[in-house]
Structure 1
Amino acid sequence: METSDVIVIGAGFAGLTAARELSRSGHATILLEAKDRIAGRTHLAERLGRNLELGGTWVHWTQPYVWAEMGRYGIKALPGPEFTKASWIVGGTRHEGTAESLMELLDGPNRLLLADSRRYFPMPWSPLENPGVADIDELTLSEAIDRLDLAEDERQLLRSFWTLNFNGRLDQAAYTQALRWCAVASGDWQLMFEACASFKIDGGTRALAEAMLADSTAELRLNQGVSSIGQDDEGVLVTTESGKQYAARQLIVALPLSVLNDIDIQPALSPGKREAAARGQAGRGAKLWVRVQGRQERFVAFGPETGALNFVQAEYIDHDTTTLVCFGPDAGAVDVEDAAAAQRHLDAIVPGLTVLDVAGHNWVADQHARSTWPMHYTGYLTRYLAELQRPEGRIRLAGSDVANGWGGFIDGAIESGLDAARQAASALGREARPPIAATAVVG
C-alpha cells in the first residue's frame, strides 16, 4: 500500500492542476489515472496523417485560467482558419453565402436569445449569486428559442447553432447554460462564439498537459482505474480495479460527472451528488474528422439540428485533400470508424465531396467519460452545482462539470482544480501532522 498526503483521481486538466498545486506546496501527492495517458477528455492523436484533437480543443484570451497557464509555460495560441464560404439548410433547402452573411443571419436571433445573460449572471464566476436564476433554471433552451419572435428559417438556424454548442439535444438543455456562456464572454454572443472555435494550443492540448505534469512532483500512476473509496475520521483508502490500495489524508476526485457513480464510495456521497451523476450532462454527441478528396474552399456548413452531422467545417487544406471536422448531437448516430456512413452524412449537408477516411473517438461510449464537453440539463445550476462543490469529509470533486466560470472548457477544469487544491491544502494545514499510516484508514 502506498501512502501520501493527498490522492487525486483523474489526470485531466482539473486533476493535473490540483496535483501540481498540492505537490509544489510540499504535500506528498499521488495522481491516479485509469487510462494509459493523461489529459482526460482532450486527446491529441495521430490520425489521417496529422495530429488531430479528438476531444476538447479551443482556448481563448477571455478564459483567464487556461490563458494564464499557457503564459506560464510559454505556450502560444494558434489562430484557427478564416472561412470564406458558408452554407446552411433551413426548411429542407440548402443556402450558400459568405461566412459573414451566415454570422449576420445568426446575429439578431442570438442577441434576442441572450439579451438577459448579464442580468441573470452579473458576476459570471458566481453563477448562483442572483436568486432570479432559479426562476428560469427549468426552462429548456428549446423552449427559450421557440418563444422568440423569429421567422421560421431564423428559428431553424438558431436551433442548429445551439445544437452544435451543446453537442446534444435542446429539449432538455438548460437555457441558463447558454446564458452563462454568453455572460463569461462579457455578454457578447459573437465573442462567446469566438471563444468556442478560434484559438488552439500550439503543440496541441497534449503540450499544455505535459507541461503541467512536468511542473509537478506528484507521483503519476497510469492504468489505475478506481473501484472503491472509503473514508473515516483518520483518512481515505482508495482501491483500484486490480486490487492495489492507496491511503491518504485528503482526496480529490477529478472525473467526469457521468462516471462518478461507477465508484463504490463509502460512506456514500450525498443523494444530490449521486442524483446529479446519474443524470449526467447533455453533451452526448459526436465529433468526427473526415478526410475528403481534393483541395476544397475554406467553408463552414450548418445542417438540420436533427441530422447525424449538423455542422461541418474545412479545418486543414492540403495539396490534394481536405480534412473536415464535423459535429452531431447523437453519438449513437455516428460511427467514427465507418467511412461509408460518413459519406451519407456528408451528402446530406455538403453534397459533392468524396470521403477518403474518417477518425474520431466515441466519448459517450467511453467508460471513462460517457459524455463530451459538459453542458447542463435543466435545473443543474440550482439543484446540483452548490452541492457538487461542497466537500464531503475528506473528499472533494473537481472538473469542468463543476466549474463556476467556463464550464465545458479546459478553462473551467483548471479553475476547479485550483479551487479543490486550495481547499485540500487548507484542510491538510489544519491537521498539521505527518501522512497517515496504512492502518489508520477504513478497510
Structure 2
Amino acid sequence: MPEEADVVVIGGGIAGLITARELGRGSLRVLVLEARDRLGGRVWTDHRMGRDLEIGGTWLHWVQPHVWAEITRYGLAVTRGPRPEEAYWLAGDDLRRGTLESFMDLIDPGMRRLLAGTMRWIPRPDDPLSAPDLAEVDRFSVQDKLDELGLSEEEYRANEAAWVGHFNAPLQEGAFTGALRWTAATAGSWHLMHEASAVFRLTHGTRSLVSAIVADTRAEIRTSTEVRRIEHTAEGAVVTTAGGERISARRIVVTLPQNIIGDLDVSPPLCAEKRAASQEKTASQGVKAWIRVRGPIKPFFAYSSADHPLSVVRTEYLGDDDAVLVAFGADARRISPDDREAVAAALRVWRDDLEVLEVTGHDWMADPHSRETWLMQRPNQLTRYHRAQQRPEGVLHFASSDHANVWAGFIDGAIESGLRVARELTTELGASR
C-alpha cells in the first residue's frame, strides 16, 4: 500500500519550503520531496575560495515585501559588497573608464526613454495582467524596444550590457515586459530597480534563510528523492519516486521550474499552457561565475556588451591579498565558470592587469533539476501563460518564483508563491490552526 500524506510538496526550494511551513502549522501531514541532496533549489550558499559564495540566487531588498518580512521574522542580517571606486565600459571597441556615477549618468537617458511607459503597461505589479491591452507590448523583445531609441553607440552598448546583466539572456530573446515588470515593482524608478536587484544580500548567505524556514516547519523533508510520476484524480493523487516508492496524498504542490515541469510524467497531463511554456523555455540561459584575483585591488564594476562571453563583472569581496569578483554572461554555452583560462581571457576585455587565481560556479542550464537560471520570459509568454501557470488542476497546485506576480524570478517571488498556494490549500482542506 502507498504511504499516505495530506499534502506532498515536490521540490525543496524556497517556494516549497514556505508552502510546507505554512501548511505544517495545522493538523495536516505534509511531506516535502527534494531531488537534490540539499535544500534551497536555485539558492545555494557554498564555501569556496575561502568565502561563503552564493552560487545561485543572491540579492534582495526592502522593496521586496515577502522576503523582507522573512528577514524581519528570523532576525537575519543584511550586508552588501564593497562600493565600486572604478567603472569600466565599452564604446564599440574603445574602453572607457570612470566612476559608478558617470556610468549611471550615461545610461540614464536611455533607461528613462525605454521605461517611460512602465506604469501604463503594468499599473499594478501585484496583478501584472491588469492592463487589458498588455499583449500589444508583450510581443516585443528588449532588443526591439532598445533599437527604437536611436542611441549613440556608447549609450546603446552601455544600456545593452546593463540589460543583458539583468536578463541573463540575449536581449532579442527576452520579453520587454520583463523589464517593465521589474521597474513597475519599484514604482517606475529604474535606479531603485537596479539597486533592488543587484546590491544587498544576506550576511550569512541564503543558507541562513533556508535553515530558518526548515527549523520552523513541522513538515517531513526528504532529500535525494526525485519524483518521476504523478497520477491524479478528483479525490487525490499518487506520487511515484525514482526509487519506486509510492505516496498517496489529498493534494500535491508542484514547485518545479518552468523549463522542466513539462518533463514530469503527469496523468492526466498538465494543461496545454503549462506544457507549451515549458517547451518554449525561458529566455534566461546565462552563466554566473565567481573569480578570485590577486590583490589588493580597488573595488570596481564593468560592463561590456552582449557580444562578449561575460557582460558584467564586479567586486564582491576584498581581502588583504586577494579579491573575489562575480560575473555574468548571457549564454552558458559560450563560457564555463570552471574554465580559468577562458574566464581570464574574458576579463581582459576590461582589465589586463588582473591575475586570475581560481574560478568557480555552477552550470544551471545543465542542471537536470533547473535547466534555467532566474526567470526572464520570452515575448508573449506573460500574457499567454501566466494565469495558467498559477492555476490549480484538480488536486494539483503550483508554487514557483517563475510565476509569482510581483518579483518573479527572485527569492521574494518564491515566498509570495508559496504563501499563495498554502492559503489556497488551507481553505480547501480546512486545516486546523
2:287 is the alignment partner of 1:277 = no
The answer to whether the Cα contact below 8 Å between 2:235 and 2:395 also exists between their aligned partners in 1 is no
Q: Hey, what does 1:291 align to over in structure 2?
A: 292
Q: Hey, what does 1:369 align to over in structure 2?
A: 370
2:158 is the alignment partner of 1:157 = yes
1:189 CA displacement: 0.3
Cα deviation, 1:28-57, whole Å, max 9, x if unaligned, reads 100010001101101100111111000000
1:164 CA displacement: 0.6
1:260 CA displacement: 0.5
Q: Hey, what does 2:14 align to over in structure 1?
A: 13
Q: SS of 2:53's equivalent?
A: strand
Tell me which amino acid in the other structure corresponds to 2:427. Answer: S
1:202 CA displacement: 2.3
Q: Hey, what does 1:255 align to over in structure 2?
A: 256
Q: SS of 2:87's equivalent?
A: strand
Q: Hey, what does 1:76 align to over in structure 2?
A: 77
Give TM-score, length-normalised by structure 1: 0.96
1:78 CA displacement: 1.2
Tell me which amino acid in the other structure corresponds to 2:258. Answer: L
Which moved further from structure 2: 128-137 or 63-72?
128-137
Determine the C-alpha separation between the residues in 2 that align with 1:185 and 1:296: 33
Tell me which amino acid in the other structure corresponds to 1:22. Answer: L
1:429 CA displacement: 2.1
Q: Hey, what does 1:319 align to over in structure 2?
A: 320
> Where in structure 2 are the equivalents of 1:145-294 lying within 5 Å?
145-294=146-295
Tell me which amino acid in the other structure corresponds to 1:251. Answer: I
Determine the C-alpha separation between the residues in 1 that align with 2:343 and 2:27: 51
Tell me which amino acid in the other structure corresponds to 2:91. Answer: V
Determine the C-alpha separation between the residues in 2 that align with 1:371 and 1:155: 27
1:349 CA displacement: 3.0
The answer to whether the Cα contact below 8 Å between 1:301 and 1:350 also exists between their aligned partners in 2 is no
Tell me which amino acid in the other structure corresponds to 1:346. Answer: L
1:426 CA displacement: 1.6
The answer to whether the Cα contact below 8 Å between 2:87 and 2:99 also exists between their aligned partners in 1 is yes
The answer to whether the Cα contact below 8 Å between 1:230 and 1:238 also exists between their aligned partners in 2 is yes
Q: Hey, what does 1:343 align to over in structure 2?
A: 344
The answer to whether the Cα contact below 8 Å between 1:120 and 1:133 also exists between their aligned partners in 2 is yes
The answer to whether the Cα contact below 8 Å between 1:87 and 1:94 also exists between their aligned partners in 2 is yes
Cα deviation, 1:365-404, whole Å, max 9, x if unaligned, reads 1000100011111111110001111110011111111100
The answer to whether the Cα contact below 8 Å between 2:174 and 2:284 also exists between their aligned partners in 1 is no
Give TM-score, length-normalised by structure 2: 0.98
Q: Hey, what does 1:438 align to over in structure 2?
A: none
Determine the C-alpha separation between the residues in 2 that align with 1:331 and 1:79: 26
The answer to whether the Cα contact below 8 Å between 2:12 and 2:41 also exists between their aligned partners in 1 is yes
The answer to whether the Cα contact below 8 Å between 1:291 and 1:357 also exists between their aligned partners in 2 is yes
Tell me which amino acid in the other structure corresponds to 1:153. Answer: E
1:224 CA displacement: 0.6
The answer to whether the Cα contact below 8 Å between 2:82 and 2:318 also exists between their aligned partners in 1 is no
Determine the C-alpha separation between the residues in 2 that align with 1:281 and 1:308: 19
The answer to whether the Cα contact below 8 Å between 1:239 and 1:245 also exists between their aligned partners in 2 is yes
Which runs of 5 or more structure 1 residues have no equivalent in the other structure?
A: 433-443
Q: SS of 1:333's equivalent?
A: coil
Which moved further from structure 2: 267-276 or 77-86?
77-86
Q: SS of 1:122's equivalent?
A: coil
Tell me which amino acid in the other structure corresponds to 2:420. Answer: D
Tell me which amino acid in the other structure corresponds to 1:87. Answer: Y
Paired residues, what number?
A: 431
The answer to whether the Cα contact below 8 Å between 1:310 and 1:349 also exists between their aligned partners in 2 is no
Tell me which amino acid in the other structure corresponds to 1:97. Answer: G
Determine the C-alpha separation between the residues in 2 that align with 1:5 and 1:202: 36
> Where in structure 2 are the equivalents of 1:327-406 lying within 5 Å?
327-406=328-407
1:203 CA displacement: 1.0
Q: Hey, what does 1:88 align to over in structure 2?
A: 89
Determine the C-alpha separation between the residues in 1 that align with 2:271 and 2:31: 25
1:348 CA displacement: 2.1
Identity of aligned residues (%): 43
Q: SS of 1:4's equivalent?
A: strand
1:242 CA displacement: 1.0
1:247 CA displacement: 1.1
Determine the C-alpha separation between the residues in 2 that align with 1:77 and 1:51: 14
The answer to whether the Cα contact below 8 Å between 2:262 and 2:274 also exists between their aligned partners in 1 is no
Determine the C-alpha separation between the residues in 1 that align with 2:316 and 2:45: 15
> In structure 2, do the counterparts of structure 1 residues 294 and 79 end up closer, same or farther at CA, with 3 Å as the change threshold?
closer
Cα deviation, 1:101-156, whole Å, max 9, x if unaligned, reads 01111111111111111111111110011112111111111000000132121111
Which runs of 5 or more structure 2 residues have no equivalent in the other structure?
A: none
Determine the C-alpha separation between the residues in 2 that align with 1:84 and 1:328: 22
Determine the C-alpha separation between the residues in 1 that align with 2:323 and 2:391: 47
Q: Hey, what does 1:307 align to over in structure 2?
A: 308
Tell me which amino acid in the other structure corresponds to 2:423. Answer: R
The answer to whether the Cα contact below 8 Å between 1:227 and 1:262 also exists between their aligned partners in 2 is no
Q: Hey, what does 2:131 align to over in structure 1?
A: 130
Tell me which amino acid in the other structure corresponds to 1:410. Answer: I
1:234 CA displacement: 2.0
Tell me which amino acid in the other structure corresponds to 2:119. Answer: R
1:419 CA displacement: 0.7
Q: Hey, what does 1:418 align to over in structure 2?
A: 419
Determine the C-alpha separation between the residues in 2 that align with 1:219 and 1:318: 41
Determine the C-alpha separation between the residues in 2 that align with 1:95 and 1:82: 19
Determine the C-alpha separation between the residues in 1 that align with 2:381 and 2:291: 34
